[in-house]
Amino acid sequence: MSEGTSDQLYLALRLAALELHLQQTVALPFIADDLFINYDDGRARAGLQALAHLSESTQVIFLTHHEHLVPVAQSVFGERLNVVRLG
């Protein structure tokens, strides 16, 4: 299994576990750092769409140093996205 495929499987399992958890208890923020480092743009968009769906149930905080993901995230999240640039 490639590293990218492994990362995608891990994210899918993590999101599924979190959705089950959210059904049983108080929502906590989902914090992710460079989730899409091994994803191509199409898969990154799909991953961001999954995070957008999750953001309907809990706060999502996504950290990255990949500037090319900002317009992709803006197109997925629309006005719900808050971009903070550091440095």
Render pLDDT for 29-78 as a digit per residue (tens, 0 to 9): 999 999 998 899 999 999 999 999 999 999 999 999 999 999 999 999 99
Determine the 3-state secondary structure of 31 from DSSP.
strand
Please determine, for residue 80, whether its predicted confidence score (pLDDT) is greater than 90.
yes
Query: For position 26, what pLDDT does the model report?
Result: 85
Query: For position 5, what pLDDT does the model report?
Result: 86
Residue appearing with tokens 């995230």: 73
The residues that bridge with 60 in the sheet, in sequence order, are: 30
Q: What would the mean pLDDT of 12-18 be, rounded to a whole number?
A: 91
Global pTM?
0.86
35/25 Cα distance (integer angstroms): 25
Please determine, for residue 83, whether its predicted confidence score (pLDDT) is greater than 90.
yes
Please determine, for residue 7, whether its predicted confidence score (pLDDT) is greater than 90.
no
